[in-house]
Structure 1
Amino acid sequence: MIIGVPKEIKNHEYRVGMAVASVRELTARNHTVFAQSGAGSGIDSGGADYRAATVAILSCIAAIFTAASVSIRLKT
């Protein structure tokens, strides 16, 4: 499965739909995960943590939605 994790767009929303630990679980099970550049930066879990979890970082939300078959995000 190809999973996308976009950066949240709502003002003052810093959470991310999938924590780095969850990303590691999915990639260990041979799923592909893409995260948007800057996802998690508001909670000090920026791109470096996602890259360490073997995630490809994409630059924009459109690229996430194009590449992924499933998108994990928050709705508040």
Structure 2
Amino acid sequence: METVTLADAKARLSELVERAASGESVSITRRGKTVAQITPIETPREPVDVERLRALTAAMEPQSEAGADFVRRMRDEDRY
């Protein structure tokens, strides 16, 4: 966990919030003592319905070309 001063936290709040959203925790200090902490919110994940996923993938058409060839063709033919 990173520790930042209150002045740094004020200047970099958007960055610290983004880091918390990606899973990191940040401790904020004032005069050397921890006064606050920014932590990510634990959001429950929905369980995956395995049978529905199998049905979806079974209904998909198989690729006609290898993945590497597809990416190479997209890179060479198209502007991105």
Identify whether the pair has TM-score above 0.5, normalized to the shorter chain: no
Higher helix share: 2
> TM-score, normalised on structure 1?
0.24
- By relative contact order (CA 8 Å, sep 6+), the higher-ranking structure is 1
